[in-house]
Amino acid sequence: LLLVTPFVGVLQDQCRNSTTMMRARVAPSVRVGAGGRRTAHASSSQSLDELPGSLRRIVGAFQMVPDPMQRYKQLLYFASKLQPLAEEAHVEENRVKGCVSQVWVLPELREDGKVYFQADSDSQLTKGLAALLVEGLSGSTPQEIMGVTPDFIEMLGLKQSLTPSRNNGFLNMLKMMQKKTLELYAAQAKEDADTQMESDNNPSATPVRDSMHAKLEKELSPLKLSIEDNSDQHAGHAGTKGLRSTETHLAISIVSEKFSGLNQLKRHRLVYGIVDEEIKGGVHALSVTAKTPEEVGM
């Protein structure tokens, strides 16, 4: 067991930061198209470099341990670290078919566009296999997950430690995770399309402010941001005649770390530069209050 411990530490360190290094790509063998359709293409075996970041590091770490028994022990270690799955998730729709033991898999597609898995099993060894997939695939995009082929199972070097039925069960877990990922992807794509259609049918009443707000959020990551419309107080003024927009007089109040070290003139120029398109599109007057968090006691 002492031989396993250093390997465990290395593996944890390698996997901990994996989600920030993943590349959004689809392996040549599988593509996810519009509406979640899956298209197969003939290709050669998948290489280690084509795997999602976390899975690639796990496979590489297993390959560094030549002893099958140590690899087997590592699976048990994975099992011991797997986060518990809520009892209500132990349902038929989450159960992996074709496994010797009972296995349940639950995915979640989060706002960052990546999928995160939970899993459980009534067998420690099977739980270890499930945990390996949870660790290796969580934090990947749907495209990355759908692009994984069974080749990585061979790369792990676990076949000597697993019975044929266990190996088949491991493959079924991967297929189940991909199936559920595809379902989530298709459902999200439909929801996004419905939202876009609804947005197109119901255009915003404040498009200028909405556009400014989105750009300032992206460029300045403000801790506080408000845009007030005072246009009604200036309706009919000579300067507003001929303007296409009804949002003619706006006041921006923004607090951001990006203003640190800048004087008021430079802060205003920074803000004006970000919303220049909106200003030219019909804003007659724009006032800006730009402060740092320290200046407002945040």
User: Could you list the active site residues?
Assistant: 99
Q: Residue type for 110, please?
A: R
Here the tokens at position 133 are 């997939």
* Amino acid (one-letter) located at 55: L
| DSSP 8-state class, residue 97 | T
**Pairing of β 285-291 and β 249-255:** parallel
- Which residues contact residue 102 at a Cβ distance below 8 angstroms, ignoring those fewer than 6 apart? 95, 121, 122, 123
Pick from 243, 258, 254, 233: which is nearest to 208 by CA? 243
Q: Where are the alpha helices (DSSP H) in 221-250?
A: none
- Of 45, 50, 56, residue with least CA distance to 19: 56
User: How would you classify residue 60: left for phi > 0, otherwise alpha for psi between -120 and 50, otherwise beta?
Assistant: alpha
Q: Which residues of 170-183 are buried (b: 16+ CB within 10 A; e: fewer)?
A: beebbebbbebbbe
